[in-house]
Structure 1
Amino acid sequence: MTDRPGNLLEVRDLHVRFGAKEVVCGVSFDIAAGEKLALVGESGSGKTITALSLLRLAGDAGVQGNAVFEGRDLLALSEREMRGLRGGDIAMIFQEPMTALNPLMTVGRQISEVLELKQALTQAQSWLAAIELIASTGIPEPARRAAAFPHQLSGGQRQRAMIAMALASRPKLLLADEPTTALDVTLRGQILELLADLQRQTGMAVLLITHDLNLVRRFADRVAVMEQGVLVEQGPVANIFQAPQHPYTRRLIASQPKRDVVEGAPEANARPLLRAHKLRVSYPTPLPGVRGWFKKGEFIAVHGAELCLVPGRTLGVVGESGSGKSTLAQALLGLLPYQGSVEVVGRAWQAPSARNTPANQRLRQQIQVVFQDPFSSLSPRLTVEEIAGEGLHVHEPALPLPERRRRVAAALAEVGLTEAQFPGLLARYPHEFSGGQRQRLAIARALIVQPRVLVLDEPTSALDVTIQQQVLALLQRLQREHGLAYVLITHDVDVVRAMAHDVLVMKDGVVVEAGSVTAVLDAPREAYTQALVAAAH
């Protein structure tokens, strides 16, 4: 690699090792002053550990090579010198702001602390400067938000606060580790535009770590692709996307959700498996002042939703966080009190106070759920056999053990988990599998009781693009083979295009637009739907 004039950072032959395991293998790249470089790859490719090693934050890792920043090798500096650079000339935005921000300090105080330390401002000066920084990131009512704790802000506001904190020291290089992964599609676009605008204003260089290729197309000047610790390809964004040279890069770019569902209108006499009419969900809220002593207010989470789902069809429910998608799903699953009606295979849920009646339990066998994050939804203390067979214990307790084991093995094989591939499969625990494999296990757990309807709550949002494609292909195959009906809860418009036949668009608890997926997404009538579709591209 030849050095380019004006390089701010030059990384050469970087190796990172944990014990005998080398996780970064001879990585070399440059970042010019004011340049935006995207480091892309799947989970485990070494992206984040590369960035952390530059700041010497990789724990007990053994790091070798050179990382020259403005003439000084970061890997050879003393810890005292590095403390001067961290949060100063080099700042970092971490992936999950809820864990990166201190929950016991207000957001403004956390930002002002950086200003006091790095810019030697007084407490009063740093507080005013913190409010200005918060305002510069587009958070409304910056003075009030500065006095808020992290849990009192939305996900997008917390991420903006993290950006404000990173920019407090006016860094020359910003390391942004998956800064939009946990955000809705419209918020992703807003954060991306904010970073690009701030980068133009300050002239800082940005190293963006991500697996979101749409982000890379919109944001970066150059891209570097990592696979299993090796930098396999790098170059200008246009060149890499138009003519990728490495097979891994080509596979990443090709890993967009693909549509493979049974098309056409449903049968005219098809019996609905799931129906909701004038569905309304509300929560009591306290009223201010004396009125709150005698009366409660009301927050309407879902207002007047209508839907009808027949075998072999997928209904996509899209909207931002807080739109009411998950509340709608819980009501359909009979887990929340509601007004209106919900029918599963022609039968209504009994009153919420009688949720565990035999009648409701029989309905639960017909409608199952697959959650967003399989790592948190699967018990770490149960084996694969116990997790997959859990539904049989509840719904078919008299089933003999040999038959139960046969059903468990069949369900696992159907989702691509076999004893031949994973020796000792039934005795393994969830932590022994990758994210995509855990999601397959979650799908097997739902399918083993032979439901007619699956509620899929963001089933691929926590997965890399290639794994996402595999899980979507699996769900599409299962639907074709078994005539399953899906309720797909998501904020990813590309996933809806690939999976859904019909779509509901929700905003503030109200269905603002509904219809076939082509009618709604290709020619949206409502401004909110138009904004969602535009943000996806």
Structure 2
Amino acid sequence: MTPLIEVKDLRVAFGNKEVVHGVDLTIAAGEKLALVGESGSGKTVTALSLVRLVQGASVTGSARMAPEQPGGAPIDLLQASERELLGIRGRDIAMIFQEPMTALNPLYTVGDQVAEVLQLKQGLTPRQAWQAAIEALAATGIPEPARRANNFPHQLSGGQRQRAMIAMALACRPRLLLADEPTTALDVTLRQQILELLADLQRQTGMAVLLITHDLNLVKRFADRVAVMESGHLVEEGAVAEVFRAPQHPYTRKLMESRPERDVPQPRSGEPTPMQAKDLRVVYPVPLSGFRGWFKKGEFVAVKGAEFEVPPGGTLGIVGESGSGKSTMALAALGLVPHRGELKVVGQEWGKGTAANRPIRKQVQVVFQDPFSSLSPRMTVEEIVGEGLLVHAPELSLSQRREQVIATLQDVGLAESQFPGLLQRYPHEFSGGQRQRLAIARALIVQPQLLVLDEPTSALDVTIQQQVLKLLQRLQRERGLSYLLITHDVDVIRAMAHEVLVMKEGEILESGTVDDVLAQPRNPYTRALVAAAT
């Protein structure tokens, strides 16, 4: 195949620290290449270096891009002037970023943002660019593209925002698309849709795609070739089928073997359930159109008559897409949104007053999806983990509180011997997996009976995800904890859950044991979820 870009001896350094070490990489025209590795492996820095978007970095080596017209001279992207790069970015090389909500400008409609690219790169008039933007949105499968073009990013769903970013990236029909974790924030069925969309657009336009990911299932479904990076080194490269059949490097084998493993205790029979719901409904007020909205509000029912029990010492998994109501169910379980129907925690109903709820809050704690945003950057580890004791055990002295903090941190695998000055450190001094351990320690220190786990591993790499799941399994076995696990990852459900609820649009479509629901799904939606995860 004709090389589109040939990268030789690429080295990237920040100050005296080199983070990419002599990478050689070839991307052929029309090829789908996956660059795989954990966070910190250097894969995103490598891709951004091709278009010189790594700020404050020293980049050496060469990245020669083939000319657009036969007989032209190739251009070295690492030696090109800024003026030359301005012409290449967006036109010849485009990029899809990981999180569309932060990559899209919240002050402009998605149509304006796509049209801006067309005006700058192709010289279209505003009217021509707007019509082309609508056509680009239509090509990505967004329903009612003419109407959606007038929407702001926050008015679109996660999948629609990602499609809008793809429309912006492909508006000028680039020769190379850099896709940086384009499906990480999406549900399994949406991931499949986005992958199919990219593959279809790639076939239509003949562009090459460099997919940056740590999700091996995506690689297997999408890519032609795979390159594996570890700590800034390219350790293995080859056809997807060959690498997956017989990985040569130990790091590649480690990634392949990092699927969640099931090692959970059986629920405790004869003990009262830590949480029980009957006809649980969560309703939000919404404005009505026209003059009716002057006099009353409408209703949006986010959870419709849910019934469930969390097994004592076991895990109830709730799986579904974004907008299915699973996170609203978690908020109701935590007493953070008003609800109708019956919801009991350790036999008690959530009350209306703060004082009445305090004993219940001690029994049910939460671990959020993103540990970096859920931990205060201005508080030390000792303050973060010990905060719950100030509320639920105010009688403890400073030294007693510190002893409990140290013991809980050791229980989740964080010790002073491993991290000198651990108690006085701040969250930014830890990796993603270590921060999630801090979040688990914060929840455990008040000795709850039930943990609500809201996507606890979706922001983590596969190997770190496996470590956190093993920690949760050990804590459940040793402490007899019950979990309410909210996730869209069927593999995590398979590894952790005893009972499963499948939700869509606020309703429970299917429920039962994990073996019954996942091995023999009855509902078509459940079958689609399971099929998308295999």
Aligned to 1:67: 63
The one of 505, 521, 526 equivalent to 1:524 is 521
Q: 2:361 — aligned with what? A: 364
Q: How far apart, CA to CA, are the structure 2 residues paired with 1:401 and 1:58? A: 45
CA drift at 1:322: 0.8
Q: Say which SS state the counterpart of residue 170 (structure 1) adopts.
A: coil
Aligned counterpart in structure 2 of residue 163 of structure 1, from 157, 166, 180: 166
Task: Give the one of 249, 254, 259 matched to 1:251.
Answer: 254
Question: 2:97 is matched with which residue?
Answer: 94
1:491 — aligned with what?
488
Match of 1:398 among 389, 395, 400: 395
3-state SS of paired residue (1:135):
helix
Choose from 258, 261, 264 the match for 2:264: 261
Q: Distance in 1 between matches of 2:311 and 2:323?
A: 27
1:417 aligns with 2:414: yes
**Would you say how many aligned residue pairs link Structure 1 and Structure 2?**
527
After TM superposition, the score normalised by the length of structure 1 is: 0.97
- d(CA) in 2 for partners of 1:487 and 1:391? 20
The C-alpha deviation readout for 1:133-154, integer Å capped at 9, x for no partner, is 1001000000001111111111
2:463 to 459, 466, 484: 466
Q: Percent same amino acid at aligned positions?
A: 72
- Residue 298 of structure 1 is matched in structure 2 by 299
One-letter code aligned to 1:418: A
| CA shift digits 1:91-142 (9 cap, x unpaired) | 1111111111121111111111111222222221111111111001000000
SS at match of 2:404: helix
Shift of 1:270: 2.3
Q: Confirm whether residue 51 of structure 1 aligns to residue 54 of structure 2.
A: no
Equivalent residue in structure 1 for 2:427, among 427, 430, 434: 430
Q: 2:200 aligns with which of 197, 200, 205?
A: 197
**Deviation digits for residues 204-242 of structure 1, max 9, x if unmatched?**
000000111110000000000001111111111111111
Instruction: Write out aligned runs for 1:32-431 (5 A).
Output: 32-70=28-66, 71-263=74-266, 266-267=268-269, 269-351=270-352, 354=353, 356-357=354-355, 359-431=356-428
Tell me how far apart the structure 2 counterparts of residues 238 and 312 of structure 1 sit (CA, whole Å): 41
State yes or no: 1:441 paired with 2:438.
yes
Give the match's secondary structure for 1:290. Answer: helix
TM-superposed deviation, 1:506: 0.7
User: Residue by residue, what CA displacement relative to the aligned partner does 1:246-281 show, whole Å, maximum 9, x if unpaired?
Assistant: 111110110000000124x752x2211111111001
* Counterpart residue type for residue 390 of structure 1: E
How far apart are the structure 2 equivalents of 1:315 and 1:405?
Answer: 33
CA distance in 1, matches of 2:90, 2:408: 50
In 2, the alpha carbon distance for the partners of 1:236 and 1:213 equals 14
In the superposition, the TM-score normalised over structure 2's length comes to: 0.97
Distance 2:191 2:185 in 1: 9
Give 3-state SS (helix, strand or coil) of 1:456's partner: strand
Deviations 1:14-64 (A, max 9, x none): 000110010110001101111000001000111111111100111121000
- Take 1:113 and 1:385, find their aligned partners in 2: how far apart are those partners? 48
SS of the residue aligned with 1:272? coil
Distance, in Å, in 1 between the alignment partners of 2:242 and 2:412 is 37
Of 503, 510, 515, which aligns to 1:513?
510
Residues 447-504 of structure 1 show CA distances to partners (whole Å, capped at 9, x for unaligned) of: 0111000000000000000000000000000001111100000000000000000000
Tell me what 2:71 maps to. none
Are 2:18 and 1:15 equivalent residues in the alignment?
Answer: no
Read off the aligned partner of 1:295 and give its amino acid letter. K
- Aligned residue type for 2:158: G
Which residue of 1 is the match for residue 449 of structure 2? 452
Task: Structure 2: state its 5+ residue gaps.
Answer: 67-73
> Using the alignment, how far apart are the partners of 2:423 and 2:81 within structure 1?
50
Distance 1:478 1:100 in 2: 38
Residue aligned with 1:469, SS: helix
- Separation (CA, whole Å) in 2 of partners of 1:403 and 1:104: 50
State the AA in 2 paired with 1:330.
Answer: L
User: What's the RMSD between the two structures over aligned residues?
Assistant: 0.9
Instruction: Find the aligned partners of 1:284 and 1:31 in 2 and give their Cα distance.
Output: 52
**C-alpha distance in 2 between matches for 1:334 and 1:114:** 46
- What is the alpha-carbon distance in structure 1 between the residues aligned to residue 274 and residue 158 of structure 2? 35
**AA of the residue aligned to 1:151:** H
Distance 1:475 1:134 in 2: 42
What is the distance in 2 between the residues matched to 1:345 and 1:104?
A: 46
**Greater than 4 Å deviation, 4+ residue runs:** none
The one-letter code sitting in structure 1 at the alignment partner of 2:471 is L
CA shift, 1:405, in A, is: 1.2
Cα distance in 1 for residues equivalent to 2:57 and 2:336:
46
Q: Which amino acid aligns with 1:117?
A: L
Q: Partners in 2 of 1:310 and 1:160 — Cα distance?
A: 40
CA distance in 1, matches of 2:496, 2:382: 29
Q: CA deviation at 1:310?
A: 2.8
Letter in 1 for 2:512: G
Instruction: Write the distance in 2 (CA, Å) between the matches of 1:421 and 1:319.
Output: 38
Structure 1: gaps of 5 or more residues: none
Q: Distance in 2 between matches of 1:18 and 1:149?
A: 36
Q: 2:2 aligns with which of 2, 6, 9?
A: 6
Which residue of structure 1 aligns with residue 69 of structure 2?
none
